Chains A and B, each alone.
Chain A
Amino acid sequence: MTLAEVFFWWYAQGWKVFIEKIRIGFSSITDFFSMDSLIRTLFKPFRQISAETAGTDASLDLKFQMFIDRLISRIIGFSSRLILLVIGLFIIVVSGILGLLLIILWPLIPFFPILGIILTIFGVNL
């Protein structure tokens, strides 16, 4: 009786619950990699190193030095964010595909025992 209930739940509420779990997991991964803030701040200086700007009366040398500082800081910021973005995107894509696969596979899981028996009968070996 309980087993029948499990099967019934599997195709109704269970599938929905599973999809929700995948969604939560997905949002946790995006949150962990702070994807939105990485994209929003892609070209910002890394940790605001050299955030100061030269005043209008500063010498040309100083202005140039500041500009270079900022440029380097932005390059460091851009590179580190880009690396994280790539890694994050890769993990998100992989987990997304895996999640999608599992969602598709979900209705087939109750048939796994039958599939196992069929493969045994046909003597399929690795």
Chain B
Amino acid sequence: MNNSFDPKNPRVKRAYQKKIFYTPPVLALCVVISSILIIGGGILLYFKNSFGWTLLGFSALPLMLFFWIQNHLNEIPIKKSKAFTDLVSEDLLTLLNKNLIPSDLIRIIPRTQSGTFLMVRFGLPIPFFENIKDFLPKSVEPIYDTAKTIREKTNSEEITGAILATAIIENLPNYEQLLNQLKLTISDLYQGIIWFNYLHGLVKNNNRPIHSGGIARDFAFGFTPTLQRFAVNLSNRYTGLNNKIQQAENAEIIQKIIHTFTTTGRQNIALVGSYGSGRSTLVNSFAETLMNADSKIPNSLKFRQIYSLDAPSLISAARNRGEIEYLMIKILNEIYSAKNIILCLDNAHLFFEEGPGSVDIANLLTPVLEAGKIRMILIMDDQKFLEISAKNSALANSLNKIVVTPSSREETIKILMDQVPFFERNKNVVYTYRSLLEAYRLSEQYIHDIEMPGKAKLLLESSASYAVNGLVTENSVQTAVEKSYGVKVKVTENKEEREKLLNLESLIHERMVDQKEAVSAVANALRRAGAGVKNKNRPIGTFLFLGPTGVGKTELAKTLSEVYFNGEENVVRLDMNEFVSSSDVSRLIKDGASDALSLTAQIMKQPFSVVLLDEIEKAHPSVLTTLLQVLDEGILRDEKNREVSFRDSIIIATSNAGANEIREKITAGEKIEDFKEEFLEKLISSNEFKPEFLNRFDEICLFKPLSKEDLTQILDLIIASTNRTLEPQKIAVNVSPEAKQILLEKGYDPKMGARPMRRLVQKTVENIVAAAILSGAATPGSTLTITPSEVEIN
């Protein structure tokens, strides 16, 4: 009986009554009838007709009914028992019946508010439930039993549609595998239930009576006209509100602030933490707590109002430093006299350093903070606090420091759940649960200047612009990241992209010849990234290309960039022979404002790119040491200590080290794979490279010298390239086989690779074409054929 639905339960009857009576027409009808009877009765009595008393008397009945509906049927509380029917939410009471089978429950769930919530937020559409219908238990009892367990596990007040949906899924064999297909776990669904309960609680809370101090609340506190001019009253927005948005994680810090402000000693707090860690939210939560008459705080803090001083408006209003100090003194005097103000200095460092938009009034504020008579909250980041401490130890010592740490993953998800209703109201969208998780994951990976939860909130907010049919999904968050940061985060889904990745080798070979080992190494790395199986904490791939000059090392990097990284210009190229002294390290990490071409600045602007470190062996050892972290973790800190991520880049280092040896061995007929290991050992023992440096690369590829056959293909590629250049003029060039043979004989130099051939084509073919164009021999639509004699002459 405990695990079955009892239709005779009084709650069921009440639910049906609610369905019938608790509707606006019925309530209005009660009021109208009662009003008619009262008015009618009054009129009759006025005309001395005693029947009016009967009408007046009977007017009580519809009013009684009205009161009963409003107060008895508005809520159907659960009962303290273990019976399923006593624990079911009121919307389910009228939907369930005794003879239901599990598949009937599937039809019921979308008809409940919480069921719809779970289905929408977790991407569990009706077809999903339809498909699992055949695998459900034969009766509903096990589902009801599971629902009761889930209710206890999630601390839910009642068994809702969301709980029932989760119970249905949990009763499936291999449900974990099924959820995995949707990238979910059962605990995610539990989180969803808790999320719904929280939002439901917020709505319920809204109907509670409001106590905010009344009309005489501020009678005993002074006027603050100057402060009003330069500060924002954070408490104003909470007057009369009752929907607490404060996060549980803040409670501990708020208690610390309350303790500091209610004990003797300096009445100030320095909230120290990184931008985005929730310092301002904390102050707002504190303001909300103070303005709530029902919060359990000492009387000395009740209804105290927090004003956030606006530094720029204060600075812009004053003509000189003296005036700023005068205004500040005036504001502090007002606060002291008013007795109900807590002054908040957001970005407090603006008051302790000279610069644009900031002014150093430490000499004025330090004594005030030391005296501790005025309650103040200073918000600043860790670095600024350290700087101020170093400069003014008296000031730092006078502050009661409270560290605000970035939130953990669980805390961030909770905070996002808190904030989502506000985003949804402002942006008119609905966020799925996966979008929250994805916002956490991707913001952690790509947003480096802000801390959690700020960066996840920021990303989630911006993802609203990429909502599809009003739904912000995991995909919307990924698109937001791709559009904002120029990186690829989605697992390749479209056919064209997949084809490109699968045929990357042949696409690369359209531009370069042979070097199959290197080509397939980079292609494999990109395929791993495209399929989402690469290590997220490393670059897409790190490669060292070794080999003689002109064999295609740099060309491969360029080709790769053109084929996959949206154009050859997306190569971030550093000629390492320009980084030969230890002082050059600073050029790698220079701030973008002072050097737009520093490595960190370029990657910040364009994280999805090929980084080409040409002639790496020429770089100073300190430069190589700096690059170790990039190769290993895909992270480099710039001179401002900002983390720059290389995790969406492919890093290719090239070197000519040991080129002669490679050439000799290949010429002698040896195969690369036979001597590669020994060759690398030699590079280490001859101190060309340190083992820890070589060890950081995913793959070291040896490029072999070009053979004559290779050069034939390269010549064709060069001629094709010339034709591409001439294409806008509609002129084509054709080199006869005999002329090609001459070019090959003259352009082949095993030591120099393809470069002499390129130069030769430039000197011969291109010169001939240029002369023909200028003399008018080559007109649009014509094809020039280069003959052996022309090649010989040139």
Contact = CB atoms under 8 A, between A and B. Distances in A.
Partners in one complex: yes
Interface of A: 2, 6, 9-10, 13-14, 17-18, 21, 24, 27-28, 31-35, 37-38, 41, 44-49, 51-52, 77, 80-81, 84, 109-110, 112-117, 119-120, 122-126
B60 A113 contact: yes
14 contacts: A14-B68, A28-B211, A31-B211, A34-B214, A34-B215, A81-B216, A81-B219, A109-B63, A109-B64, A112-B58, A117-B53, A117-B54, A117-B57, A125-B45
A54 to B, nearest CB: 14
A125 B50 contact: yes
The 9 residue pairs across chains A and B that have the minimum distance between CB atoms: A116-B57, A48-B222, A34-B214, A119-B53, A112-B60, A34-B216, A41-B220, A51-B337, A113-B57
A13 B72 contact: yes
A37 B214 contact: yes
A96 B60 CA distance: 22
Interface in B189-228: 209, 211-223
Contact of A37 (B41, B65, B216): B216
B48 A125 contact: yes
B72 A110 contact: no
Interface string B44-55: 011011111111
Chain A CB count within 10 A is highest, among B49, B60, B223, for B60
A117 B492 CA distance: 82
A47 B222 contact: yes
A18 B67 CA distance: 9
Contact of B60 (A24, A35, A47, A109): A109
A110 B63 CA distance: 10
B36 to A, nearest CB: 15
A51 B216 contact: no
A24 B67 CA distance: 16
A34 to B, nearest CB: 3
Contacts of B293: 31
Q: Tell which of B64, B65, B213 has the most Cβ of chain A within 10 Å.
A: B64
Interface residues of B, number: 43
Given A34-B214, A113-B54, A125-B48, A48 B223 contact: yes
Nearest to A77: B219
A117 B41 CA distance: 12
Contacts of A2: 17
A21 B61 CA distance: 20
Contact of A41 (B45, B60, B72, B219): B219
B395 to A, nearest CB: 27
A112 B57 contact: yes
A28 B209 contact: yes
Contacts of B214: 31-35, 37
Nearest to B303: A37
Given A33-B216, A84-B215, A84-B216, A14 B67 contact: yes
B68 A6 contact: yes
B585 interface: no
A22 B46 CA distance: 32
Given A112-B57, A116-B54, A9 B72 contact: yes
Nearest to A34: B214
A9 B68 contact: yes
Contact of B56 (A9, A17, A116): A116
B794 interface: no
B364 interface: no
Given A34-B213, A34-B216, A48 B54 contact: no
Nearest to A114: B57
A126 B48 contact: yes
Nearest to B218: A47
A122 B51 CA distance: 10
Contacts of A116: 41, 53-58
B752 to A, nearest CB: 89
A80 B536 CA distance: 68
B221 A120 contact: no
Interface in B17-73: 17, 41, 45-46, 48-61, 63-65, 67-68, 71-72
Contacts of A77: 219-220
A11 to B, nearest CB: 11
B222 A120 contact: no
Given A47-B218, A110-B60, 9 more contacts: A13-B72, A14-B68, A31-B293, A37-B214, A37-B216, A37-B219, A46-B219, A47-B223, A115-B57
Contacts of B64: 6, 10, 109-110
B528 interface: no
Contacts of A31: 211-214, 293
B339 interface: yes
Contacts of B213: 31, 34, 37
Contacts of A38: 216, 219
Interface in B752-772: none
A37 B220 contact: yes
B48 A51 contact: no
A48 B71 contact: no
A17 to B, nearest CB: 5
Nearest to B65: A6
A10 B68 contact: yes
Nearest to A7: B64
A110 B61 CA distance: 7
Contacts of B53: 115-117, 119-120, 124
B390 interface: no
A24 B426 CA distance: 33
B219 A80 contact: yes
B219 A24 contact: no
B71 A47 contact: no
- The interface centre, meaning the residue of B45, B57, B221 with most chain A CB atoms within 10 A of its CB, is B57
Contacts of A6: 64-65, 68
A124 B219 contact: no
A84 B668 CA distance: 108
Contacts of B72: 9, 13-14, 17
B329 interface: no
A46 B216 CA distance: 11
Contacts of B222: 47-49, 51
Contacts of B61: 113
B232 interface: no
A101 B211 CA distance: 26
B761 to A, nearest CB: 90
A41 B51 CA distance: 56
Contacts of B67: 14, 18
B220 A44 contact: yes
Contacts of B221: 47-48
Contacts of A21: 71
